[in-house]
């Protein structure tokens, strides 16, 4: 199902939470300034999809780490990436649920709540950014996963 | 103006996060210590201090046997359990002239460790079970014979775990296909709360637990018979 040259699904999946969350935060900022119903629907959906894709990225990462050859000098970098992957997973999953609940209860229509949510969204962006940075180092510095 | 502020603050926040991340990376020097093999002695960038209270070392070691078996062990290791008499070390040469440390274990649990203490560490040993029966363990974070972490192989089973006050806790256990009869690279790594055991490049065991205090790194034999060791590689894993 996956190409022969691809070691596992993780590199295919990981871009979804990064992209979805980035777009969600961007439109969330616009939503705070210009509240529109369609924008609110879209932002909530993007965050929820970001949360779901983070779960998929986490699970594929758990599977990937034991199936690639990690050079000894990269073990700590792999451990750090794995730890940050956990943090991202927990954060996105909880935030996705919180976002859906606040949408359902219409709490996000209150200005203060909307601002708090967008700040937390930016924090999530920083978390996934750090995770991605550490994951990128595994591939581009240590070559992990570049050979099946 | 208020709306403009709402834009500016998040942008400043992201800028701050990315700047602090860049600064951190910029200040970290490249820490890839890959020392070449040095026949006859361990190639060690760590302090050589036999004092048990020595602070953690930051080093890589590439060890190969040299001299007599006794000299080979005494110069770079000390015993946590057992003694030279329990493993009767001799240095032999193979067909290619490569020196090999041959140990004959008498059944007494014997562990010999490098002199420095390590925190995050990777250990790799090229070993050959000649007629050894029992358990071969790579140990790390070792403080005493009853407090250490290990990756062990016995027949085709690998176990990864720790011994705390004499009580063994297994974090992971798995079978591996490759029979350890010919030369095999057995590896163990401890990186943060992540612990792994490898046969060659194949990850066999992977477990998680709290980090232990810095400790010694070496080999433990629990069994009897002959085992050969051609090299031991040790790498102190540095944070980036």
Q: Could you list the pLDDT tens digit for every one of the 240 residues in chain B? A: 455 454 555 544 454 444 444 444 444 333 333 343 434 455 444 444 443 333 344 578 999 998 898 998 998 999 999 999 999 999 999 888 899 999 999 999 999 999 999 999 999 999 999 999 999 999 999 999 999 999 999 988 999 999 999 999 999 999 998 665 689 999 999 999 999 999 998 999 999 999 999 999 999 999 999 999 999 999 999 876
The answer to whether A75 contacts B32, with C-beta atoms less than 8 Å apart, is no
- B55's tokens: 């602070």
CA distance B84 to B63: 18
A-chain residue closest to B122, CA distance: A72
The answer to whether A66 contacts B7, with C-beta atoms less than 8 Å apart, is no
The three-class DSSP label of residue B54 is: coil
CA distance A11 to B223: 44
Q: From the list B10, B189, B233, which residue is nearest A75 (CB)?
A: B189
- How many CA atoms within 13 Å lie on the side-chain side of B151? 28
A8 contact B CB<8A = no
Give the model's pLDDT for residue A4.
77
Specify whether the CB–CB gap between A91 and A130 falls below 8 A: no
Q: From the list A76, A119, A122, which residue is nearest B191 (CB)?
A: A76
Give the model's pLDDT for residue B9.
53
Q: From the list A67, A72, A137, which residue is nearest B235 (CB)?
A: A72
The answer to whether B240 contacts A76, with C-beta atoms less than 8 Å apart, is yes
For residue A7, CA distances in Å to A49, A64, A68, B52, B173 come to 25, 8, 7, 44, 24
pLDDT tens series, chain A, 148 aa? 677 788 889 999 999 999 999 999 999 999 999 999 999 999 999 999 999 999 999 999 998 988 888 999 999 999 999 999 999 999 999 999 999 999 999 999 999 999 999 999 999 999 999 999 999 999 999 998 886 5
CA distance A133 to B229: 39
A-chain CB neighbours of B206 within 8 Å are 65-66
| Distance (Å) from the alpha carbon of B88 to chain A's nearest alpha carbon | 31
Question: Which of B192, B207, B236 would best serve as a mutation to test chain A binding (most A beta carbons within 10 A)?
Answer: B192
CA distance B196 to B179: 19
A114 contact B CB<8A = no
The answer to whether A72 contacts B237, with C-beta atoms less than 8 Å apart, is yes
| Distance (Å) from the alpha carbon of B165 to chain A's nearest alpha carbon | 27
The answer to whether A33 contacts B240, with C-beta atoms less than 8 Å apart, is no
Q: Which residue has the tokens 């602070």?
A: B55
Q: Which residue has the tokens 């792999």?
A: A78
A138 contact B CB<8A = no
DSSP character at residue B123: E
Specify whether the CB–CB gap between B129 and B227 falls below 8 A: yes
CA distance B204 to B198: 5
Question: Which of A33, A64, A73 would best serve as a mutation to test chain B binding (most B beta carbons within 10 A)?
Answer: A73
A-chain CB neighbours of B194 within 8 Å are 75, 78-79, 82
CA distance B25 to B119: 21
Q: How many residue contacts between A and B have a Cβ separation below 8 Å? A: 72
The answer to whether B6 contacts A76, with C-beta atoms less than 8 Å apart, is no
């Amino acid at each position: 199902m996956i190409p022969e040259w691809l070691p596992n699904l993780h590199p295919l999946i990981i871009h979804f939470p990064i992209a979805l969350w980035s777009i969600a935060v961007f439109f969330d900022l616009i939503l705070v300034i210009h509240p529109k119903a369609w924008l609110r629907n879209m932002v909530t959906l993007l965050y929820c999809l970001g949360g779901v894709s983070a779960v998929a990225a986490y699970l594929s990462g758990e599977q990937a780490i034991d199936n690639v050859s990690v050079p000894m000098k990269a073990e700590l970098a792999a451990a750090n990436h794995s730890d940050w992957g956990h943090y991202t997973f927990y954060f996105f999953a909880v935030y996705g649920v919180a976002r859906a609940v606040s949408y359902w209860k219409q709490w996000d229509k209150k200005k203060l709540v909307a601002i708090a949510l967008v700040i937390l969204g930016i924090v999530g962006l920083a978390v996934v950014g750090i995770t991605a940075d550490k994951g990128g180092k595994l591939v581009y510095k240590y070559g992990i996963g570049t050979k099946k | 103006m208020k709306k403009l502020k709402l834009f500016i603050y998040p942008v400043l926040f992201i800028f701050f996060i990315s700047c602090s991340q860049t600064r951190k990376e910029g200040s970290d020097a490249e820490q890839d210590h890959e020392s070449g093999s040095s026949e006859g002695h361990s190639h060690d960038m760590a302090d050589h201090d036999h004092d048990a209270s020595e602070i953690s070392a930051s080093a890589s070691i590439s060890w190969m046997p040299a001299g007599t078996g006794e000299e080979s062990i005494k110069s770079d290791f000390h015993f946590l359990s057992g003694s030279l008499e329990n493993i009767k070390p001799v240095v032999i040469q193979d067909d290619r002239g490569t020196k090999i440390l041959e140990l004959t274990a008498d059944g007494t649990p014997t562990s010999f460790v490098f002199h420095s203490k390590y925190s995050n560490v990777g250990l790799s040993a090229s070993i050959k079970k000649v007629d050894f029966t029992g358990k071969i363990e790579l140990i790390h974070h070792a403080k005493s014979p009853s407090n250490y972490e290990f990756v062990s192989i016995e027949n085709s089973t690998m176990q990864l775990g720790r011994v705390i006050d004499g009580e063994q806790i297994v974090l992971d256990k798995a079978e591996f296909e490759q029979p350890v009869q010919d030369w095999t690279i057995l590896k163990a790594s401890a990186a943060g709360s992540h612990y792994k055991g490898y046969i060659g490049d194949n990850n066999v065991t992977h477990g998680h637990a709290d980090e232990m205090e810095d400790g010694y790194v070496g080999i433990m034999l629990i069994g009897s018979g002959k085992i050969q060791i051609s090299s031991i590689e040790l790498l102190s894993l540095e944070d980036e």
